[in-house]
Amino acid sequence: MKLPLTIKETQKGLLEKEFSAVELVDSYLSEIKKKDKGLNAFLTVTEDEAYKKAKYIDNSMLKADFFESHSLFGAVVAYKDLFLTKGVRTTAGSRVLSSYVPAYSGTVVKKMEEAGAIMIGKTNCDAWAHGASGENSDYGPTKNPWNKEYVPGGSSSGSAVAVSAGMSLISVGTDTGGSVRQPANFCGVVGLKPTYGAISRYGVIAMASSLDTVGSFGHSIEDVETIFNTIKGEDGLDATVRNFQASSSKSQTNSKSKITIGVAKEYFAGGLDKEVENNINEAIKIYKKIGIDVKEISLPHTKYTVPVYYIVMSGEVSSNLGKFDGIRYGNGRDTFGAEAKRRIMLGTYVLSAGYYDAFYLKAQKVRSKIIEDFDNAFSQIDAIISPVFPTPPFKIGEKSDDPLQMYLADVYTAGANLAGIPGLSVPFEFSKKGLPLGFQLLGPRFSEPTLFELGKIYHKAVGFVPKTAI
């Protein structure tokens, strides 16, 4: 059977009995068997769980009231291996947790399951979500399905690849400094990093707690919006979460005043690949053509994004990874990989006596300046259009010898995490080498509805048709 590419198509097919949920699972499993050997997107495939859920859905479909409360019924989902799944091994991409089986599931997993999603497996990622390329997994790199010699982006590499290669309909990842938007960008799928505090992180292995968010992947903006609406909101178990109330930005999408998009001049100041730049300019042209105002803005502290991010993030990483001592669960600290060790040591250094004020406290203050930049910008505009990554996808191994060069590539994504604002990665066009390109839309806190609207009108204008890589 030809697999559906959106939640809507899936549910229509199920309702019109074109296929059953069990047949859907058959097809996705056969895609995984066919493709994943070469891609390494899955660490665990949950065949038994998937069939069990599919049978439950096929039986429940007969009840008319089933659909109202089940926004994701029949949607096959893959979880980044950072999400605790009761009874299913969860590794965080690290050898430290090579045989860890959680005793409970996190809030997002529970909400997705209750909404009728079918878990197909757990996906590969940079260990502990440390990385922008997907090469830092202790279980081997994930490959880009558009060309296996290239990286898929990270750290939610397997989740992006699973969707892009048609091995799962939707997937979930985490974004601490770009880990959803970067792989979405490199794999040609839609990815959302939500507002900090919109979605509970209960049962998600923590990386940097003041930056961590739960993001989602799909082939369409609508699907990512459906996932967001299903998993957002307070659960009483993550004290940073509050119930979603759409922010009133300068102009609301449906009101008479025009939407304005900002272009930050600092984002185009240098270091940006020509092909990526031309593609963004093309996107800006299209927005102008459909009647969106475009305005130049300034984010003067952009050049400090990466230093602030690497201080705050590594400090929090060193603290969060302190609990992995191999006593209560998992293996000992000698099983941490090189990147985790580097970040733990950097974080320990910036927090240590004599350096705290110069690094950690200083970074927290510059973080305030970065937030102020965004606040100033959003007083004049509704959203910012920006590159996601400074270059198109690059070859596996090409940059892995120089950690600092990799860190610098987070300049366009980490700002949103420092400011707690949402970002939507929108696929658009391909590079000369046939690899995906795209852009991201950033908005003020709780402006997801505006970002979804902007994404949808864009895809409509260019006649975007979702397709899988292979």
Partner 1 sequence: MTQINADDVSHVAKLANLSLTDTEIKKFTPQLTKIIDYISELSEVDTKDVEPTSQTTGLTNVTRSDEVVTGNILTQDDALSGTDNAHNGYFKVPAILSERTDK
Least Cα distance to 213 among 255, 175, 261 occurs for 175
| Two structure tokens written together for 417 | 């995490």
Q: Which of 345, 376, 379, 380 binds partner 1 (CB under 8 A)?
A: 345
Q: What are phi and psi of 293, to 5 degrees?
A: -75, 140
Cα–Cα distance measured from residue 380 to residue 295, given in angstroms and rounded to the nearest whole number: 9
CB neighbours of 446 closer than 8 A, spacing ≥ 6? 195, 198, 244, 245, 246, 247, 422
Task: Provide, rounded to whole angstroms, the least separation between the CB of residue 27 and partner 1.
Answer: 34
Answer yes or no whether residue 243 interacts with partner 1 by CB under 8 A.
Answer: no
CB neighbours of 458 closer than 8 A, spacing ≥ 6? 283, 286, 287, 290, 426, 428, 464
Q: Coil, strand or helix: which one is 337? A: coil
Q: Coil, strand or helix: which one is 199? A: strand
Answer yes or no whether residue 122 interacts with partner 1 by CB under 8 A.
Answer: no
The amino acid present at 142, given as its one-letter code, is T
Task: Provide, rounded to whole angstroms, the least separation between the CB of residue 236 and partner 1.
Answer: 6
Q: What are phi and psi of 102, to 5 degrees?
A: -65, 150
Candidate segments 41-49, 51-59, 150-158, 413-421, binder of partner 1 by CB under 8 A: 413-421
Answer yes or no whether residue 356 interacts with partner 1 by CB under 8 A.
Answer: no
Task: Confirm whether 179 is a catalytic residue.
Answer: yes
Among positions 369-388, residues that touch partner 1 (CB under 8 A) are 369, 371
Cα–Cα distance measured from residue 419 to residue 151, given in angstroms and rounded to the nearest whole number: 28
Answer yes or no whether residue 420 interacts with partner 1 by CB under 8 A.
Answer: yes
Task: Confirm whether 155 is a catalytic residue.
Answer: yes
* DSSP letter string, 40-78: --EEEE-HHHHHHHHHHHHHHTTSGGGTTT-TTTT-EEE
Answer yes or no whether residue 400 interacts with partner 1 by CB under 8 A.
Answer: no
Site string for partner 1, 19-58 (x = CB under 8 A): ----------------------------------------
Answer yes or no whether residue 134 interacts with partner 1 by CB under 8 A.
Answer: no
Candidate segments 69-77, 121-129, 337-345, 459-467, binder of partner 1 by CB under 8 A: 337-345
Site string for partner 1, 197-216 (x = CB under 8 A): x------------x------
Answer yes or no whether residue 362 interacts with partner 1 by CB under 8 A.
Answer: yes
Cβ-based burial of 456 (10 A; exposed 0-12, middle 13-18, buried ≥19)? middle
Q: Which of 8, 333, 399, 456 binds partner 1 (CB under 8 A)?
A: 333
Task: Confirm whether 20 is a catalytic residue.
Answer: no
Answer yes or no whether residue 64 interacts with partner 1 by CB under 8 A.
Answer: no
Q: Which of 318, 320, 386, 450 binds partner 1 (CB under 8 A)?
A: 318
Cα→Cα distances 293→383, 388, 412, 442, 463, Å: 11, 21, 22, 16, 21
Active site residues: 80, 155, 179
User: Which residues are at the interface with partner 1 (CB under 8 A)?
Assistant: 100-101, 103-104, 196-197, 210, 236-237, 239-240, 242, 301, 303-304, 306-308, 310-311, 318, 322, 325, 327-330, 333-334, 336, 338, 341-342, 344-350, 352, 358-359, 361-369, 371, 403-404, 407, 418-420, 445
